Amino acid sequence: MATENGFPIGYFYIVSKMNGLVADLRGDPETAAPGTKIIMAHKQEESPERDSQLWIHQNGYLTNKATGLVLDINPAESFIAIFTKEKRMYLDGMKVDANDQRFGYESDPGYIYQLSDPKNVVDIRHELSEVDARLMIYKRKQYPSSEDGKETKKNQLWEIELSDPPRAVDSDDEDEDDGKRVRIKAWFGNWKAFGSRKKEILNEKDLCEAHQKVYENEEKKKKSTLR
């Protein structure tokens, strides 16, 4: 099952059609924070190593499992970017009405695009095929095969691969919006904070507040392991 923006329900990998590498965080996920850079890495199959490579979709936001932070577009930090206006991908806290944090997915051919401007898509910078290549946002390209039979490098095309089989839908929840309900359940697990509101679907303000709880919980876990 897919959402209205093309992403599946539950956690997934973002896999490059160019080289099979996946979107990941640069550096140690335990110290990741707003501003952490998004890079390409070899796919990890087991937790907790894979958690920094897993994302979940809700209302256009792509939230990283390991950190509780969302995928974000920001100007590149290099001096030359002042003139080129290049924008790259980072982690950041969720913001209400943020045009630079919301994405959709076209499975054919495989673009991950900015909802506020679908001409802008997630791109592997300079078509680099190696580990640690940076992700950026760039105008979408078309990908015809060349005359010699070799395909153009597909640095803007992605496969969305579920990390685990879809969860079964509870029979007593049939009247709810199954897509949103299962996605929230996959995100929060058996989180009890909803109380009597457990059958409500999060609106945008509630989603941001819940996201902040997830991020704060991750920070507490990190601190407790350092003691």
Q: What pLDDT score does 146 carry? A: 54
For every residue of 24-89, DSSP letters joined together read: EESS-GGG--TTPBEEEE----STTTTGGG-EEEETTEEEETTTS-EEEEEE-SSSTHHHH--EEE
Is residue 219 a part of any domain in this protein? Answer: yes
Domain membership of residue 182 (yes or no) is yes
Task: Let me know if residue 1 belongs to a domain.
Answer: no
In a domain, 175, yes or no: yes
Q: How far is the CA of 161 from the CAs of 14, 62, 68, 194, 196, in angstroms?
A: 7, 14, 19, 29, 34
Compute CA distances 97 → 18, 94, 113, 186, whole Å.
32, 9, 17, 24
DSSP single-letter state for residue 167 = P
Q: Is residue 4 a part of any domain in this protein?
A: no
Q: What is the pLDDT of residue 92?
A: 96
- Adjacent-strand bridge partners of 161: 13
Per-residue pLDDT tens for 137-156? 999 988 766 555 556 679 99
pLDDT at 75: 82
User: CATH no. for residue 197?
Assistant: 2.80.10.50
List of the chain residues with pLDDT < 70? 1-4, 79-84, 144-152, 166-227
What pLDDT, on the 0 to 100 scale, is given for residue 189? 43
Domain residues for 102?
12-225
What confidence score (pLDDT) does residue 199 get? 39
Is residue 177 one of the residues assigned to a domain? yes
Count: domains in the chain: 1
Is 6 part of any domain? no
pLDDT in the model for residue 29: 93
The mean pLDDT of the chain is: 80
- Residue 85 to residue 82: CA distance in whole angstroms: 6
Residue 7 domain flag: no
Strands 135-139 and 87-92: antiparallel
